[in-house]
Amino acid sequence: MKKSMKRMLDEIEREAEYTRSLTGRKRFSSRVMAAMGKVPREQFVPTDLRVYAFDNGPLPIGYGQTISQPYIVALMTDLLELQADHSVLEIGTGSGYQTAILSLLASQVYTIEVVQELGEASARCLQELGYTNISFRIGNGCAGWPEHAPYDAIIVTAAAAQVPQPLIDQLTPGGRLVIPVGLPYMPQELLLVKKDLQGEIHTRDILSVAFVPLTGGEP
C-alpha cells in the first residue's frame, strides 16, 4: 500500500474516533476501510491536484462541484451498512470516487448526475478502471430512479433543502438513506433516514457538514 494511502486511512480512523460522540461510531467497518484502501483516489481528481489526492479534505473537480473529504466518504458509506447483495442508489455521481467505493461493497450501484459533462467523464473513468456493476444516468436526482426501485440504500452527495419524498418512497423496508440537509452555503446536517420493516420513517442527525447544493430542484 502506498504511504499516502496509509496516511489517509490513518487520518480517517483518527477522525472517526474523535467524532464518535456525534456519530456513535468509534471506527468504521473493516469492509468500508478495505474499500477505501482499494480505490485509487488520485484517479478521480484533476491532474494538477493529484498531489493532494490523499489529504483528508475536499477538492474541486470543476463545474462548481467537489470530491468529498475521505473521512466523510467513509462515514456516509459506513452509515449505509451495505451488504454484498444490496442495491444502492447514489444521487450525485460527481467525480465517481464515492461510486467506486459503493461498487466494491454492494451488488449493484445506480448513480445519477445532473451535470452531463461531469457524469459522462465519471462514467468513462469508472469503466476504464474496471468497475462493472454500475449503471449511469444523467438527470435530476431529486426524482430518484424509480425503474430500479426499491433500493436497500440511498446516498445523496449534495445538500438538499429537505429530504426528497421520492427517495423515501424508493427505499426498501429496512433500508437506509444518508443525505446532507440544509440551505446552500449555510449550516447543514448529515441525516440518517431509516425505514423500518413496517414502513415507518426514523431520522437521526449525525453531524454538521458542508456540501455543495443539490441542483435540479424538486421533481
Q: What are phi and psi of 189, to 5 degrees?
A: -125, 130
CA distance 137 to 93: 9
Give residues with Cβ within 8 angstroms of 218, minimum separation 6. Answer: 142, 164
Q: What is the dihedral of CA 163, 167, 173, 177, to 10 degrees?
A: -60
CB 93 within 8 A of CB 158: no
Tally of CB atoms within 10 A around 202: 9
Which candidate in 29, 30, 68, 135 is catalytic? 68
**DSSP letters for 130-167:** T--SEEEEES-GGG--GGG--EEEEEE-SBBSS--HHH
CB distance 111 to 135 below 8 Å: yes
Yes or no: say if 44 and 100 are a contact pair by the CB < 8 Å rule: yes
Residues β-bridged to residue 179: 191
Q: Is 208 considered catalytic here?
A: no
Active site residues: 68
